[in-house]
Amino acid sequence: MEYIIEAAGLVKKYNGKTAVDAINFTVRQQECFGLLGPNGAGKTSTVKMIHCFFLPTAGRLSVLGMDVRTHSRAIKRQLGVVPQENNLDPDLGVLENLLVYAGFFGITRSSALNRAGELLEFFDLSGYERERVETLSGGMKRRLTIARALINSPNILILDEPTTGLDPQARHLVWQRLRHLKEQGVTILLTTHYMDEAAQWCDRLVIMDEGRILEEGKPQELVLKHVGKEVLEIGLGNEPAGVVLDHVSGMICGHLIIGDTLYLYSAGGQAVLQALQHFPGRFTHRLLRYATLEDVFLKLTGRGLTADGKTVAGYFPPGLEGAPASPGCLSKDLESKHVP
């Protein structure tokens, strides 16, 4: 079994409305695979087909070499699921939540007790065994939900926005734990809106929008391909974007406008910054920084992000949109060491 999850032409429709539109992707053993995309992109719908919550409307989907249509029970035995919405049982205490859940996997009471103790320790929840779930904070509930997903020592861990609502410490704790699990051979499928998290932890990821996969690849490769090395952020104030773009034409390999901020993509941001020293107008701010996965995300899915409903202008030199970036962004002189 080369791929631990394999989707081909996967479709999900809700009453005829398409949420997942014939997507293809594969996940390898021990990989951390990310599903990114704006709200409503179809991430949760995809994830729910993988953990056999509902059947695909069309297409092929196999998990651990088994067809989700025929082997849901056997598949679910080996999965751990952290749903987007917590669904801990408020009628039960913290420990009881884990024990009852273990029961559904046929785990004996005594081994469930051991495992639950370990997991509570692992997620920094020991001491709360007897607490009612209601009395936990949001972040603690999230950690308990992740702990619950691990009660059956799953081969694949499915995490739908696992770190939403966690404080920075808790996020780091969770990621340390997840890395530990990955080292032990667990495959992780993750959705998240934190781009830094995705860039740091995902071996590969896909960016989805409106039910389709827009891009797939390793985070760093995607950044280089779509944005390049550096991004210069310009607070336009009253300056028209077109004039600024004319001023730096030939020096950039793409740009994006969101609200009144202009993002200039380039291989050498310092030069662009210098060129703009002589620009006659005034900007509210300028910031030169490394390109990140967030830039890729905004570029690919940026439509409709402005608060005032204005469409985001995403103009790229001909041939750049959707295709590999112009050579300027990938040239070797990228090693700019100083980023102001």
Partner 1 sequence: MSLNFIEPLLYLSALGLGLGAYVQPIEGMPYLGYLAPGLIASSAMFATSYECTYGTFIRMDFQKTFHAIIATPASIDDVIMGEVLFGTFKSLLYGSTILLVVFGLKLVSSPWVLLIPVVLALSGLFFAVLAMTWTGLVPNINSFNYFFSLIITPLFLFSGVFFPLTGMPALMQQVAWFSPLYHVVKLTRGLAAGDAVWLLAGDFIWLLAATVILLPAPLFLLRRLTIK
Q: How far is the CB of 151 from partner 1 (least distance, A)?
A: 9
Q: Per-residue string for binding with Mg ion, 37-76, x by CB under 5 A? A: ------xx--------------------------------
Among 8, 14, 153, 339, binds ligand ATP (CB under 6 A): 14
* Residue 257: both structure tokens together: 């406008």
Residue 163 binds Mg ion (CB under 5 A): no
Contacts of 174 (CB under 8 A, 6+ apart): 123, 143, 146, 162, 163, 166
Residue 41 binds ligand ATP (CB under 6 A): yes
Among 5, 10, 11, 19, binds ligand ATP (CB under 6 A): 19
Which stretches of the chain are assigned E, i.e. beta strand?
A: 3-14, 17-28, 32-36, 58-63, 66-67, 79-82, 156-160, 187-191, 204-209, 212-217, 230-235, 254-258, 261-266, 285-290
Q: How far is the CB of 123 from partner 1 (least distance, A)?
A: 17
Nearest C-alpha neighbor of 287 from the set 270, 299, 275: 270
Q: Per-residue string for binding with ligand ATP, 60-99, x by CB under 6 A? A: ------------------------x---------------
Q: Residue 3: name its binding partner from partner 1, ligand ATP, Mg ion, none (Cβ under 5 to 8 Å by kind).
A: none
Among 26, 30, 84, 164, binds Mg ion (CB under 5 A): 84
Nearest C-alpha neighbor of 293 from the set 225, 228, 223: 223
Which stretches of 113-161 are assigned E, i.e. beta strand?
A: 156-160
User: What gap in Å lies between CA 149 and CA 62, rounded to an integer?
Assistant: 20
Give the residues lining the site for partner 1 (CB under 8 A).
14-15, 51, 53-54, 72-73, 76-77, 79, 81, 83, 85, 87-91, 101, 104-106, 152
